[in-house]
A and B are shown apart, each in its own frame.
Chain A
Amino acid sequence: MMTIFGIPTQALFGQLLLGLINGAFYAMLSLGLALIFGLLNIVNFSHGALYMMGAFVAWLLLTYLGAGYWLALIIAPLAVAVFGIICERFLLSRLYKLDHLYGLLLTFGLALVIEGLFRQLYGISGMPYAVPKELQGGWNLGFMYLPIYRGWVVVASLVLCLGSWLLIEKTKLGAYLRAATENATLVQAFGINVPMMVTLTYGFGVALAAIAGVLAAPIYSVNPLMGSNLIIVVFAVVVIGGMGSILGAVITGFLLGLVEGLTKVFYPEAASTVIFVVMAIVLLIKPAGLFGKRS
């Protein structure tokens, strides 16, 4: 059997793939968080709950309406975005002029309410969601076995993140977004409906979380707590990448997934804490985060 540093290659690449998968989810979620923080000044603690809602909408669609994975991939983000937009219009929009802390408290409370509701209705045991038949099976790459679905998740996440980045960096709409993140008052004084843009941005960030939830449904079981398990790590990713930096969030998401995977191979005991160790070190050396601009 082939080994690298005394580790069987199968195990090494297997863990790297797992890390890449986790990284894909970190990237999609932290991208949305960074976008929302940049424009709304809100640390969206309900992001994990909205991710969970995405997975649940997919499960509900399948269980009660027989609507499959591909349809869920379109409907779930739309449905969850509508829910998010309602929360933004009626709750979050009252907090923009206040300290970050209020937004954090409100969204944290929202997350508890949403999770509590789903726990009440569906318990915490978790519901299985089958891999769609087009993506079942796997490829033997020689050095490792790649389940097709996992490959799909990584590719889909990369496409979504790259697409979002291009949208923000290369289009007129993205220029409005970047400008409003810097100085919303002036952008509005140029005749742009900034409150509407804020609402749509929140909806977009939330939709990304919901898509991540649908992608996650066949990998992790659909479970009311799946979001809160993930969100703490995602916040660490956002802090490491630099609050408000889009590209930083994406790159850091994938990198930290890989770091986590590698740690599982070489020192499994530290796997669940390594990200926080990295966070502490980064904060000591670069308080604004790896890609953050503000000092």
Chain B
Amino acid sequence: MGPPVMPEPSILLSVKDLHAHYGESHVLHGMTFDVPKGEVVTLLGRNGVGKTTTMRSIMGIVAKRAGSIRYNGTETVGLPSNRIARLGIAYCPEERGIFSSLSVRENLVLPPVIKPGGLSLEEVYELFPRLLERAGSQGTKLSGGEQQMLAIARILRTGAEMLLLDEPTEGLAPVIVQHIGDIIRQLRQRGFTILLVEQNFHFAATVADRHYVVEHGQVIDMIPNADLAANMDKLKTYLGV
């Protein structure tokens, strides 16, 4: 007999045997993982293993998906993405998705507030003072780092409890990566649950509670952040670095 069973942390998002297709190509081959409430969880893996597709499947943007994605007990496979968003999941895409025909302020307030509990506009500006200075500019006139801030900032107001952040540090200067790390830790403290896609596991190690390693559209390993140092060689083999 094993040790006494610890009380399970409550699972906010549960993905089981998820398959997804883009046209003819079968990208996800039975992804299975859980995201406990209040944790920062990363999906680590090489390029093209299906991390972004997993995010898009959770969000309901990939049309052909099969398996189960339960959010707070609700099955979301089969729901259109607007309904999924209204359950409390907010998405920050890899390409950031800043709208050029909208000002910074319009971009910031575009996602509708779906439930109470989100940050107020003042709190968002406190976290990202630069966005207040540039509020009147065209969204895409911001620098890459500022656009990334905007992409994160605009999903904090909506009241969503779960944030999907797809490679928020990609291509950014170290000082900005550090700032984004600070923001993610603050958000965790405020009770947000975060699913993070990362290539940069050094960064991931500074913010996350656990890491799922993805290969060929499947989760092949789970490493708690506390055990990361001990598993570094294994992880490096997985990631081919």
A residues contacting B by CB (< 8 A) are 172, 175-176, 178-179, 181-183, 185-195
Known A175-B110, A179-B110, A190-B112; further 18 A-B contacts with Cβ < 8 A? A176-B110, A178-B102, A179-B102, A182-B101, A186-B91, A186-B93, A187-B110, A188-B81, A188-B85, A189-B60, A189-B61, A189-B82, A189-B91, A190-B91, A190-B158, A191-B82, A191-B85, A192-B112
| Interface: B97 (CB within 8 A) | yes
Contact A190 B111 (CB under 8 A): yes
Nearest residue in B to A178 (C-beta to C-beta)?
B101
Contact A179:B101 (CB < 8 A) given known A189-B59, A191-B111? yes
User: B11 on the interface (CB 8 Å rule)?
Assistant: no
Tell me the complex Cα distance, A264–B99, Å: 43
Binary A-proximity of B78-111 (CB < 8 A = 1, otherwise 0): 0011101110001101000101111000100111
CB pair A191–B99 under 8 Å, yes or no, is: no
| Min distance, Cβ B155 to any Cβ of chain A, angstroms | 8
With A189-B59, A190-B112, A191-B158 known as contacts, the answer to whether A183 contacts B99 (CB < 8 A) is yes
Whole-angstrom CA separation of A177 from B59 in the bound complex: 21
Distance A193 CA – B112 CA, assembled complex (angstroms): 11
A175, A178, A183, A192: the one within 8 Å of B82 (CB): A192
A-B contact count (CB 8 A): 57
Give Cα A181–Cα B110 distance, bound, in whole angstroms.
14
Residues of B within 8 A of A179 (CB): 99, 101-102, 110
Is the C-beta of B177 less than 8 angstroms from some C-beta in chain A? no
Q: Which residue of B lies closest to A183 (CB)?
A: B97
Contacts of A193 in B (CB 8 A): 82
Q: Is the interface of B mostly helix, strand, loop or mixed?
A: loop
Q: Tell me the minimal C-beta distance from A187 to chain B in angstroms.
A: 8
CB neighbours of B81 from chain A (8 A): 185, 188-189
Q: Tell me which residues across on chain B come within 8 A of A185, comparing CB atoms.
A: 61, 81
Is B121 an interface residue when CB atoms closer than 8 A count as contact? no
Closest Cβ–Cβ distance, residue A182 to chain B (whole Å): 5
A179 to B100, CA, bound (A): 8
Q: Which of A181, A186, A191 contacts B112 (CB 8 A)?
A: A191
Distance in Å from the Cβ of A51 to the closest Cβ of chain B? 27
Return the chain B residue nearest A177 by Cβ.
B101
- Nearest B-chain residue to A187, judged by Cβ: B110
Max chain B CB contacts within 10 Å: which of A175, A191, A195? A191
Q: Counting CB contacts under 8 A, is B135 at the interface?
A: no
| Inter-subunit contact B110/A190 (CB<8 Å) | yes
Q: Are B91 and A175 in contact (CB under 8 A)?
A: no
Q: Which residues of A contact B106 (CB under 8 A)?
A: 175
Interface pair A182/B99, CB less than 8 Å apart: yes
| CB neighbors of A among B35-63 (8 A) | 59-61
A188 engages B80 (CB within 8 Å): yes
B114 on interface, CB distance cutoff 8 Å: yes
Question: What separation, in Å, do the CA atoms of A183 and B95 have in the docked complex?
Answer: 12
Q: What A residues does B111 contact at CB under 8 A?
A: 190-191
CA distance A194 to B158 in the complex (A): 18
Q: Collect the chain B residues with CB atoms within 8 Å of residue A190's CB.
A: 82, 85, 90-91, 110-112, 155, 158
- Is B102 a contact of A188 with CB atoms below 8 Å? no
**Nearest neighbor of B106 in chain A, beta-carbon distance:** A175
A219 to B106 alpha-carbon distance, docked (Å): 42
The answer for the CA separation of A272 and B100 in the assembled complex, in Å, is 38
